[in-house]
Amino acid sequence: MTDLAPFQQLMTMTDLLTPAAVRAAATLGIADHVAAGATTAGEIARRAGTKYDVTDSLLRYLAEIGLFLRDEAGTYALTPLAEPLLSDNPRSVRALLRNDNMTGSSTLALLRLDHTVRTGEPGYAAAFGRPFWETVNNDTEFVAEWQEHAALADREHVAGGRLGWDAGAIVTEYDWSGARSFVDVGGHLGVLTLALVRAHAHLHGTLLDLHNAAAEAGRRFARSEVADRLQAVEGSFFEPLPEGRDVYVLSAILADWTDDDAILILKRCREAAADHGRVLVADIAMPINGPGAELQMRSMMPAPARSAEQIEQLAAAAGLRLTWRGPGTAVRTLLEFTAA
Ligand SMILES: C[S@@+](CC[C@H](N)C(=O)[O-])C[C@H]1O[C@@H](n2cnc3c(N)ncnc32)[C@H](O)[C@@H]1O
């Protein structure tokens, strides 16, 4: 007789239906609709703007796996398992599981882990046809989320927020006295750019990032009290950068890129810095424990934990030589380079 146990175990291990169904519920806000009083498939589909028949199947499946209670009349109620999907739950995991936002969609890179294992590259482009950062920066569906993140960053600043991942060292440990200007290359929403110009009254900052990030950072700068010393420009760090600034900062950038790409980014900084400028690499080193965490990280970023020595080698390949090694921390390197 054939032993079905390993077959069944393997099929259960590899079943994509359950994660896809829970993610669909998170993306479509199904738990929120039920909590707000939509208790039938018809009403839930109407509020979620979804197809009735497939919504009905989804709800019946979610009831089967314990997220909802379904009575004889087809009325749904939340179980405790669905409560973390509620947007207003203080411990909500909805944002982590949505397919249509930055955090949730970044983990979908795991769908093409085979590609990451084969090439060492992130899986997102293999799964969806376009790299992650390009997608979230160019698709209009992500604009609202960038705006929310920018508003959150403003609120955190007002509340005295700190720079994450030991980025405060870039502001306090580097000697900015000899610099007048810098480019925050891949500066995201400008948290670091703003912190630098606020802490050093003589500094002028330029943030460079892709479309959605640069647009949102520009709006943040315009409403800040230091707007006259800031600008945000849209561009790619694989293309020539704004020239002639004193320092080109790469904060938490290189980890997202393969060695070849990282060398190109460093070259772009070296070219723009020319003879007098400096390149300040403040990369992150993610703490990673165990093979599962390694695979999750590697599916998203090619080099989550490069050492200072590895960064020096990349910089050397880009024609840069080390001029200062700052007090790095467990999660942040701090290295200054100049053209070799
Ligand atoms: C991990 S975030 C780092 C943000 C910021 N420097 C920090 O320290 O938190 C990477 C940033 O690089 C930007 N980025 C990705 N590809 C880019 C490209 N080709 N040119 C410019 N910016 C890019 C992303 O939009 C994102 O803001």
Domains of the chain: 1-95 (1.10.10.10), 146-339 (3.40.50.150)
Provide the pairing of β-strand 68-70 with 76-78.
Answer: antiparallel
Question: What is the rounded average pLDDT of the residues 301-306?
Answer: 94
pLDDT digits (tens, 9 = 90+) for 50-97: 999 999 999 999 999 999 999 999 999 999 999 999 999 999 999 999
Alpha-carbon torsion angle 253, 255, 256, 258, nearest 10: 120
161 pLDDT higher than 80: no
DSSP per-residue codes, 102-168: HHHHHGGGGGGHHHHHHHSS-SHHHHHSS-HHHHHHH-GGGHHHHHHHHHHHHHHHHTT---TTTTH
DSSP 8-state class, residue 302: S
Exposure class string for 172-185: b at 16+ Cβ within 10 A, else e: ebbebeebebbbbb
Of the residues 165, 210, 220, 286, which should be mutated to test ligand 1's pocket, given the most ligand atoms within 8 Å of the CB? Answer: 210
User: Helices then strands (H, E): number in the chain?
Assistant: 17, 9
26 pLDDT higher than 80: yes
Ligand 1 within 6 A of CB of 102: no
pLDDT digits (tens, 9 = 90+) for 87-111: 999 999 999 999 999 999 999 999 9
If we measure between CA atoms, which residue out of 239, 229, 256 comes closest to residue 109?
A: 256
In which order are the strands placed within the sheet that holds 204-209?
230-234, 204-209, 181-185, 247-251, 278-282, 335-339, 320-325
Question: What is the rounded average pLDDT of the residues 290-311?
Answer: 95
d(CA 89, CA 99): 19
- Residue 309's pLDDT band (cuts 50, 70, 90): very high
Of the residues 184, 211, 253, which should be mutated to test ligand 1's pocket, given the most ligand atoms within 8 Å of the CB? Answer: 253
- Residue 10, classed as helix, strand or coil, is helix
pLDDT digits (tens, 9 = 90+) for 209-253: 999 999 999 999 999 999 999 999 999 999 999 999 999 999 999
Ligand 1 within 6 A of CB of 216: no
Residue 212 Cα: closest atom of ligand 1: 25
Provide the token pair at 200: 């050093």
